[in-house]
Structure 1
Amino acid sequence: MDRKKNGKRSALLALCLLMAIGLPFLSRNNYNQILMNQTIVYIIAVLGLNFTMGLSGQFDFSPAAIFGLGSYMTGLLSVKLGISPWLGTIAAVLFGLVIGVMIGYPSLRLKGVYFVLATLGFLEATRLLLTNMTWLTEGTNGVAGIPSYQLIGINFGNPRNFYYLALFFMIIAMVISKRVIDSKWGRMLIAIKDNDVAVEGCGIDKASIKIKAYILGSCFMTFAGAMNAHMFQFIHPSDFNFDFTVKFIMMLMLGGLGTIPGCVMGGIVVTILPEMLKFLGEYYWLAFSTLMLIMVMFIPYGFVSVPEFVRSKIKKHRGRA
């Protein structure tokens, strides 16, 4: 039975991968290609947020700040010092580790609303620093002229080339996430989310586990931020605001907390659906918000719960018959 189930799962994953590889050839529109690239970058960031919010259950408002710091780290190194985008990206990931340690240690010892306020304060402080440190960040002028990735003669400034690069890194991020979730450490994270008092009673240092999750999530988000900078080749402090954080949280919650498929589905829906509704003009955001509200009401556990929800309804209907 397990072998049959694993076979179906492998076939589904292979089909999804083939569809993802062929997707750019279905549209020759440059805007649609950039939108797909943006979706993949956001999925990587949401996979990082999933460690803190999805697995350990901490409501985190810092993703936009961490994502933005990753963008600025590689962007400034590339533009001001002429450092290779690849080295800049590595520096951004290492900076994510530093952020995770500096913010994680004091913040993750807090609980509930106090942790929310701490991360919200970090978000606002980061935005103000990026805006006002004009000698370094160029302030409201933003950082322009960020070079694109180059490798063995391939220019990833081309949207289609960038898509396959981003897809490659997204698959790696998903594999890492899967290994973490299935590990002993991942199971402890989930246990902390379910009942942190019981975990503490077992002699497990829950603060240390949460901090490690925050550090790993920060590295994912700064990496995604770095890719974002080299994709658009321009960054501005106003991009990394409270609304941007809410977008990441929506992706995670609508897709399904604590699940990798949920991060993917949430990233796709929240990024692409508003664009599909733009034919409604100025009412498109109202329509999107209404749809999201309906989804939360009827699918509280996210899109990943839909198959199980449908199966339960069918079983219930058959039982009555």
Structure 2
Amino acid sequence: MLTPSVEALIQHLADGKFHSGKKLADTLQTSRTTVWKSVQSLQALGLEIQAVKGRGYRLTHPWERLNAEQITASIQVPEACPPPVVEVHDCLNSTNAHLLRTASLRPAASICLAEMQTAGRGRLGRNWVSPFGANIYLSLLWRFRRGESLGGLSLAVGVETVRVLRTLGLADLRLKWPNDILWQERKLGGILIEAITESQGQCVVVVGLGLNLRLPPGAADAIDQPWVDIRTILGGGSSRSDLAVPSRNRMAGDLSSRLLALLNAYGSEGLTPWLEDWRRWNCVLGRRVTVDEIGQRYEATAVNVTEEGSLVLRRDDGRRRLLAAGDVRLRVRHDA
């Protein structure tokens, strides 16, 4: 996706310091016009670049490129787990879609990351805003035996994600059934589980995870719900908040390690080992919720989650209903 000249320029600007147009042109052995056009290309991707007369160009925030070798080396591979294969792309339509499309060619424990997604997806086909070089867009392919119950997998993934984020200093995180990671009622991340059945009967599952690290203002304008990023949480809006943002490569390695351990155990253990923490960190149980399900809308109280990951609701007439993720929209009432 990136031309050689644009790739070279972004590497020089990655430190967040000013670089004069003349020095960049001399270093890159190109013209100042080419430097200017490359800056425009990076700005079109969503990177925030300042141009100041007499000082040159700089990225508003220091930038760290995702590195497959660095991520692979940092992954802790659980016993009896296939060795992970990590790939990093500049741009994909969707990391989940890419793994599903090429699943027959891949071993288990295939991990895919992208600097940018042009058609990032959330649950129920929602758009996931995915600007270049700003966040984490990670998908992991795994194979399960046919017949295993995977209904609670997104809940377990949410728990492991929160565990990683807590080690990085993020507090007050909450999980919304079945796949959202929230901070103070604002969306920090989302999980998308997709599966296909192979001819030999195995179930191929792709776990997709999107986390907001540092959303550029222009990209954030396209989000239609309350959102937050890690920079805001850790930095508190201060001028030093960029220093608080953790390494994307470290995060990718830590998340991959946790997800591999989870998937390696989930086939035999199911959701049970993760339920206690999910219940501790959830923001749904005991709350009034509005449910949109198969053309009908109703209100109820969320009372529990089953061992299979279904949400137990108590309707106003006293009846209980089990809610599987499926094509269901759930909104937590904040006025009740």
- Higher relative strand content: 2
Same fold (TM over 0.5): no
TM-score by length of 2: 0.23
Please identify the structure whose Cα radius of gyration is greater: 2
